[in-house]
Amino acid sequence: MAASLDPHDLYDVRSLLSDEERMVQDSVARFTDERVLPIIGDCFDRGVFPADLIPEIAGLGLLGSSLPTEYGGGGMNAVSYGLICQELERGDSGIRSFVSVQSSLCMYPIFAYGSEEQKRRFLPDMAAGKVIGCFGLTEPHGGSDPGNMKTHARRDGGDWILNGAKMWITNGGLAHIAIVWAMTDEGIQGFLVERGMKGFETRDIHRKMSLRASVTSELFFDHVRVPDANRLPGVRGLKGPLGCLTQARYGITWGPIGAAIACSSQAIDYARERIIFGKPIAATQAVQLKLADMARRITLAQLLSLQLGRLKDAGRMQPTQVSLAKWNNVRMAIDIAREARDILGGAGITVEYVPIRHALNLESVITYEGTETVHQLVVGREITGINAF
């Protein structure tokens, strides 16, 4: 009989990785197993982000992992970044969110659009986890259409005066700096707003039922005076923030694979042991069908993200391809988390088991970084040539 297959890697996708990529995956997997999984159910329950893990996350080189080493980055390729996201989200979407925001939404724009002085001033400390960033694009009146931005900045001598508000901002309450996108007379521009600047306040959002082990905040700007040296000089227009989103969304195509593996793994173990009507529920056709379908969908998502990563590393990845994978992979994971929750019966509603936590977290993941509908419409626009937004 042939050797049995890995139930979470039926197509041996791991054999398509380089030694270095496998090493990155293994070291982050160890961190998740040893440091995240023992505490995360409790953090979720209490609604607390485990900030004491930040130095270890930084020590593993997970902040700015794809940026060049001269700025403190890890110099890793896109597939490695994807594997980092996958293994972190196997622990919790909130931990992956923390890393996505710091790496793709804060360090990336400083690297891609910042001045040399900004890069030297901020990036090494951000890679070390000493300076935490947040990314302010969404506003209270509607996030899907960020071009309709009310936050604005006007020139005042050598400075800018910033007014407005941002909503649903990951890491907001933790952040030392906020990358804030604002409308100006010269189009949308990005500003590095530092905590302590007069008129800049943050307020954490509570009573969340999702991403409870993550900080989500509102940002307020009341005549904040920002020096021109804190403006990102390298980009103007909506393509600035959307270019950052492409980086983060790419990582998010991988993350939910980890969440799905965590849920299906627990569902398989539970179904083999749970005896109902005199036999394990895994021995029923209905439950096997569900488990087989999970394996099928995880396998497809793994192949999709790996090919996307190879395209990104070859400099050929297109935003529409990212939209298709974000839509497919988050939908795959949320369906699997809900199905796994069902297989666990009543036990599935407690945080003693992982599916309910992942299912609730994925309610945010399917909404942020572009809702599922937004990504479907991006793909629709690509294949019809008609903008339906």
Name the burial class of residue 225, with classes exposed (0-12), middle (13-18) and buried (19+) by CB atoms within 10 angstroms of its CB: middle
116 is catalytic: no
Q: Site for ligand TGC (CB under 6 A): which residue of 36, 54, 137, 215? A: 137
Question: In this structure, what token pair is assigned to residue 210?
Answer: 């999702």
Question: In this structure, what token pair is assigned to residue 60?
Answer: 């593993």
Task: Choose the contact partner of 142 out of ligand FAD, ligand TGC, none; CB within 5 to 8 A by kind.
Answer: ligand FAD
Is 71 a binding residue for ligand FAD by CB under 6 A? The answer is: no
Is 353 a binding residue for ligand FAD by CB under 6 A? The answer is: no
Task: Choose the contact partner of 239 out of ligand FAD, ligand TGC, none; CB within 5 to 8 A by kind.
Answer: ligand TGC
Per-residue string for binding with ligand TGC, 220-239, x by CB under 6 A? -----------------xxx
Instruction: Tell me if residue 218 falls in helix, strand or coil.
Output: strand
In contact, 253 and 363? CB cutoff 8 Å: no
DSSP-derived secondary structure letter, 15: G
Is 376 a binding residue for ligand FAD by CB under 6 A? The answer is: no
Nearer to ligand FAD, 8 or 375 (CB): 375
Nearer to ligand TGC, 223 or 239 (CB): 239
Instruction: Tell me if residue 134 falls in helix, strand or coil.
Output: strand
In contact, 212 and 53? CB cutoff 8 Å: no
In contact, 153 and 160? CB cutoff 8 Å: yes
CA 376 to chain centre: 19
Choose the catalytic residue: 21, 139, 339, 369. 369
- Which of 165, 161, 216, 210 lies closest to 184, judged by CA? 161
Is 144 a binding residue for ligand TGC by CB under 6 A? The answer is: yes
Nearer to ligand FAD, 77 or 361 (CB): 361
Task: Choose the contact partner of 234 out of ligand FAD, ligand TGC, none; CB within 5 to 8 A by kind.
Answer: none
Is 106 a binding residue for ligand FAD by CB under 6 A? The answer is: no
Please tell me the distance from the alpha carbon of residue 268 to that of residue 292, in angstroms, as a whole number: 10
Parallel/antiparallel/unpaired status of strands 275-276 and 187-194: unpaired
Question: In this structure, what token pair is assigned to residue 92?
Answer: 């919790």
Task: Choose the contact partner of 246 out of ligand TGC, ligand FAD, none; CB within 5 to 8 A by kind.
Answer: ligand TGC
Minimum CB separation from ligand FAD for residue 341, in Å? 20
Per-residue string for binding with ligand TGC, 301-340, x by CB under 6 A? ------------------x---------------------
Question: In this structure, what token pair is assigned to residue 231?
Answer: 């403006």
Parallel/antiparallel/unpaired status of strands 133-136 and 177-184: parallel
Is 370 a binding residue for ligand TGC by CB under 6 A? The answer is: yes
Please tell me the distance from the alpha carbon of residue 267 to that of residue 282, in angstroms, as a whole number: 9
Stretch that binds ligand TGC, among 68-76, 221-229, 240-248, 294-302 (CB under 6 A): 240-248
Please tell me the distance from the alpha carbon of residue 91 to that of residue 340, in angstroms, as a whole number: 16
Question: In this structure, what token pair is assigned to residue 252?
Answer: 């998010």
Is 170 a binding residue for ligand TGC by CB under 6 A? The answer is: yes
Q: Identity (one letter) of the amino acid at 320?
A: T
- Which of 334, 239, 272, 262 lies closest to 29, judged by CA? 262
Per-residue string for binding with ligand FAD, 128-167, x by CB under 6 A? -------xxxx---xxx-----------------------
Active site residues: 369
User: Using CB under 6 A as the criterion, which residues of the chain lie in contact with ligand FAD when the complex forms?
Assistant: 101, 135-138, 142-144, 168-170, 211, 216, 364, 367-369, 371, 373-374, 389
By CB under 6 A, name the binding residues for ligand TGC: 97, 100-101, 135, 137-138, 143-147, 170, 237-239, 242-243, 245-246, 248, 319, 368-370, 374, 378, 389
